[in-house]
Amino acid sequence: MRRTLFNANTDRMTYGIREMVELAARVGALDPNFGFIGENIGDPVAKGWDAPGFVKRIVADLVRARDNKVFGYTHSYGRIETRRWVADYARRYSPSSRLDGDHVVFTNGLGSAISIFYRTLKKGTRIIQPSPAYPAHYSTECFAAGAASISYRLDPDKGWSPDLAHLERQIRRYPQIAGILVINPNNPTGAVYDAPTLEAIIRLAERYKLMLISDEVYFRMVYNNCRYIHMTELVGRRVPLVVMRGISKDVPWPGARCGWMEFHNTDLDADFASFFESIKKTLMMEVCSTTLPQMALPLIYDHPEFNRWNARYTKELERNGNAIAGILRQTPGLRVPPIQGAFYMMALFNPKVLNARQTLPIACAAVRAFIRKAVAKPNLPLDKRFAYYLLASTGICVVPATDFASSNPGFRITTLDRNPSRRDRVYRTLSASIQRYLAS
Ligand SMILES: Cc1ncc(COP(=O)(O)O)c(C=O)c1O
């Protein structure tokens, strides 16, 4: 090529969740008997959660409507009626919220909101990320900044809550930080933060003049006697705040590609207000977000059956998560912190139990050779090596913790499987495989 096409910054982007799927496809091509058991992607529909009947009826009625509106574009920032509904909805749980529909913008899934958000920031301005982290946030932030991630520790010994002293040290050390990302309930850890923790983060934002970004895509999935505290309840008029939400996880309708950002308190800071204007410009370049889910969304969340459906869903997630944690906690060499929300769990290997000689039996010779070659890659993290062997030996696909920028080796799993006997079988196999791997 006359000019180089390849942007080396793309090397900063990793998405281990789907990279494991590619590995599984290659194993499947080598071994016709390979049976894939995906515990890697947080897609409730793929794990047997049907879209509820009332959701299907709402969607079908919208598609059949004579006005054909669902087939057209919407406004670039989203359909105004839905944006107003979002602002009214925010007031239901945070009555002091002054959000209006003009400060809500729709995107093609929250994934797209995340990408637009970091791409639009001034180059060199950084958002501190939790570690372990959700890859779409930290990878896109690194890509946009052209530099390594700046992160704060989540502490597995304290139920994965943020290490606030570390967060403050990092904010002082890196003056380029302009905002703190909080993912609550958290992916990948399953933690839900209490009011004192959120309050301490807000105080740091106040003290160092930072904005807060609160990814709340899992806010309806909270259990084990935990109450969800909305960031907006505590923030009030104190700091600029961006709340990110979507319909992928709770309707659940991940294929709708529908998410949104709420810009709270733009009047507090002129720079924050200008940043919001530049986000809107970027959105115009995208033309608009998907119309059908925007039209369906208020009808779904206000439907009398929604709360009943969500209560059942959350109860089952609680049962599943606790059953899986119970099995994994009996595995020597493994640490499983408690979970309170979302549908993920991150299990950690105890220090020094992993080494680069451990293996699991792999029946198919071609797959065995392939995995041996794959794990010979220089500097392959030890938890990735385990995940490769586990996949090839049992079909179980977990995501290595280091793919979430975790400093501790381990793996993340989803807790979505609806079939109790299959779920228990899979996690007993996982537990037995860990014991076998560690003893090999
Ligand atoms: C914390 C978090 N934010 C955002 C997303 C993206 O969601 P969407 O399907 O709306 O793009 C996910 C998806 O797994 C997520 O876990």
Of the pLDDT bands very low, low, confident and very high (cuts 50, 70, 90), residue 4 is: confident
The amino acid at residue 112 is S
Taking each helix axis from N to C terminus, what angle separates 382-394 and 420-439, rounded to the nearest 10 degrees? 120
pLDDT, one tens digit per residue, over 324-354 is 999 999 999 999 999 999 999 999 999 999 9
Question: Among 408, 404, 316, which Cα is nearest to 19's?
Answer: 404
Look at residue 16 and tell me whether its pLDDT is greater than 80: no
Is-cis flag, bond preceding 188, omega within 30? yes
**pLDDT value of position 48:** 84
Residues in a beta bridge with 242: 213, 263
Q: Check residue 361 and give its pLDDT.
A: 96
**Statement: residue 38 has pLDDT above 90:** no
The answer, yes or no, to whether any atom of ligand 1 lies below 6 A from the CB of 386, is no
Between strands 344-349 and 410-414, the pairing is: antiparallel
pLDDT of residue 5: 80
Cα gap 136→217, rounded to integer Å: 13
| Closest ligand 1 atom to Cα of 344 | 16
- Ligand 1 atom closest to the Cα of residue 134 is 1
pLDDT of residue 81: 96
CA dihedral 30, 35, 36, 39 (to 10 degrees): -150
Q: Answer yes or no: is the C-beta of 246 below 6 A from any ligand 1 atom.
A: yes
Q: Which residues contact 221 (CB under 8 A, 6 or more apart)?
A: 185, 249, 250, 313, 314, 317, 341, 342, 343
Q: What is the pLDDT of residues 369-402, one digit of tens each?
A: 999 999 998 999 999 999 999 999 999 999 999 9
Compute, in angstroms, the gap from residue 111 CA to the centroid of ligand 1.
6
Q: 43: CA distance to ligand 1 center in Å? A: 10
| Residue to mutate (ligand 1; options 43, 249, 413; most atoms within 8 A of CB) | 249
Coil, strand or helix: which one is 329?
helix
Sign for the CA dihedral angle at 307, 112, 177, 412 comes to: positive
Report how far residue 402's alpha carbon sits from residue 385's, in angstroms, rounded to the nearest whole number: 11
Q: Which atom of ligand 1 is nearest to the CA of 258?
A: 10
pLDDT at residue 261 greater than cutoff 90: yes
CA–CA separation, 88 and 323 (whole Å): 38
Give the distance from CA 382 to its chain's centroid.
23
Q: Measured from the CB, is residue 108 less than 6 Å from ligand 1?
A: no
* DSSP conformation letters of 370-431: HHHHHHTSTT--HHHHHHHHHHHHH-EE-EEGGGGT-SS-EEEEE-----HHHHHHHHHHHH
- Determine the Cα–Cα distance for residues 137 and 112; give it in Å rounded to an integer: 11
Pair 247, 257: CB distance under 8 Å: no
Dihedral angle computed from the Cα positions of residues 318, 320, 326 and 332, in that order, rounded to the nearest 10 degrees: -120
* pTM exceeds 0.85 for this model: yes
Ligand 1 mutation pick, 217, 404, 414, max ligand atoms within 8 A of CB: 217
Residue 43: predicted pLDDT = 85
- Ligand 1 and 254: CB distance under 6 A: yes
DSSP letter, residue 8: G
For ligand 1, is residue 298 a contact (CB within 6 Å)? no
Which residue is it, tokens 């560690």? Answer: 438
List of domains in the chain: 8-49+307-439 (3.90.1150.10), 67-301 (3.40.640.10)
User: CA end-to-end span of the chain, whole Å?
Assistant: 49
Tens of pLDDT, residue by residue over 55-92, are: 999 999 999 988 999 999 999 999 999 999 999 999 99
Cα(245)–Cα(109) distance, rounded to whole angstroms?
Answer: 9
The closest alpha carbon to 341, from 323, 314, 301, belongs to 314
Which pLDDT does position 11 carry in this prediction? 77
Q: Is 130 in the pocket of ligand 1 (CB under 6 A)?
A: no
| Structure token digits, residue 320 | 């599943």
What is the rounded average pLDDT for all residues in the chain? 94
Asked whether the predicted pLDDT for residue 53 surpasses 90, the reply is yes
pLDDT, position 259: 97
pLDDT over 90 (residue 13): no
